[in-house]
Amino acid sequence: MKNSFIFLFLFLTSCGYHLGRSQNYQNAEISVPYIEKDLSGYFSQELIKQISYSSNLNYKYSNADYTLCVKIIDSNTSQIGYKYDRNNENVRQNNLRATEGRQKITARVELIDKNSNCTKFGPFDISANADFDYVDPDSLNDLSFIDPNGNRTTVLAFSLGQLESIESAKEAASKPLYEKLAKKIVDAISAYW
């Protein structure tokens, strides 16, 4: 039995079989130029951070072997959650109000070899999305409730900072969204490399 394991091991290694993903034994040095439509710079920052976390990719500001060209080609928000409006007596009305959204970003990614000016990886479109909740700041029902004694009470004291308008909620969701998208991009390049 022991001899059969040794024979199998020698057979697999003599045929050139290796446990691993790639034939590239050196780390790729990558620079990241300006990302088109990244107005805040969070996406560029997150992409550089994820490259730095990678075991087989190295970020270099300049003089890198490869350039990672990224362009945001689509960014949209869709409504995914609704709730019924209520009147002053807390009776459900027949009109719906949006309370949840989903922000989706798609980026076109291409890794270019600087020496030959040829595309090494891509172009590919990679997407990520993040969900968020929000309130209507103009709605009395979103910002208050009727307590058991019949008094109107503001919910701000109980919200723990979680009540935000749609603009603030989208901004808060964009950081984890950029992190998720940057991680997907770096994982795709690492799997190829």
What percent of the chain lies above the pLDDT cut of 90? 42
Preceding amide of 123 cis, omega within 30: yes
Interhelix angle 166-192/42-53, nearest 10 degrees: 30
d(CA 181, CA 46): 9
**pLDDT confidence of residue 62:** 87
For 68-117, how does the pLDDT look when each residue is reduced to its tens digit (9 = 90+)? 999 999 999 998 888 787 776 778 888 777 788 999 999 999 999 999 99
**pLDDT confidence of residue 30:** 94
Q: In the predicted model, is pLDDT for residue 4 greater than 80?
A: no
Q: In the predicted model, is pLDDT for residue 162 greater than 50?
A: yes
Q: In the predicted model, is pLDDT for residue 17 greater than 50?
A: no
**pLDDT confidence of residue 143:** 64
Residue 86, number of CB atoms within 10 A of its CB? 17
Q: Are strands 144-146 and 152-154 parallel, antiparallel or unpaired?
A: antiparallel
Which one of 39-43, 125-129, 160-164 scores highest in mean pLDDT? 125-129
Choose between 32 and 83: higher pLDDT: 32
CATH architecture, domain 2-192: 2-Layer Sandwich (3.30)
For 33-74, how does the pLDDT look when each residue is reduced to its tens digit (9 = 90+)? 999 888 889 999 999 999 999 988 999 998 999 999 999 999
Q: What is the mean pLDDT of residues 131-160?
A: 68
**pLDDT confidence of residue 88:** 67
